[in-house]
Amino acid sequence: MAIVTFHPSGKTIEVEHGTLLFDAALRAGLPVASSCSAAFVCCRCNMQILQGADQLSTQRDPERTLLKRDKKDLTDRVSCVVRVYGDCTVTTSYW
């Protein structure tokens, strides 16, 4: 199990290893921006990783391409494709 902490709310949730970051936020009761219903198209669900970036699935070229297209920092992660494998802390601009 892994613990995901969301800032600035301070909410935490325990999730199984391999849970999508997108799903973890929804389970914690937080809104997640998305116009593509988590189909990895819009990049609105991107999140900033404050701690534990090494506890997430590896960022691949398609994710980097989407972040570049939308002029997001390459350290951001697109939550609908990122899997949680250990404790991490995240935030996003709309919380």
HSE, side-chain direction, 13 A CA sphere, residue 80: 18
Helices (H), 15-70: 21-27, 61-69
* pLDDT tens, position by position, 42-95: 999 999 999 999 999 999 999 999 999 999 999 999 999 999 999 999 999 888
Q: What CATH number has the domain bearing residue 75?
A: 3.10.20.30
The residues with which 11 forms a beta bridge, in sequence order, are 6
Q: Residue 18: give the domain boundaries.
A: 2-91
pTM score, whole prediction: 0.93
The residues with which 70 forms a beta bridge, in sequence order, are none
Task: Say how many domains are in the chain.
Answer: 1
At 95 the pLDDT is 85
Taking residue 70's Cβ as centre, other Cβ atoms within 10 Å add up to 13
CA dihedral of 18, 5, 55, 81, whole degrees rounded to 10: 50
At 11 the pLDDT is 96
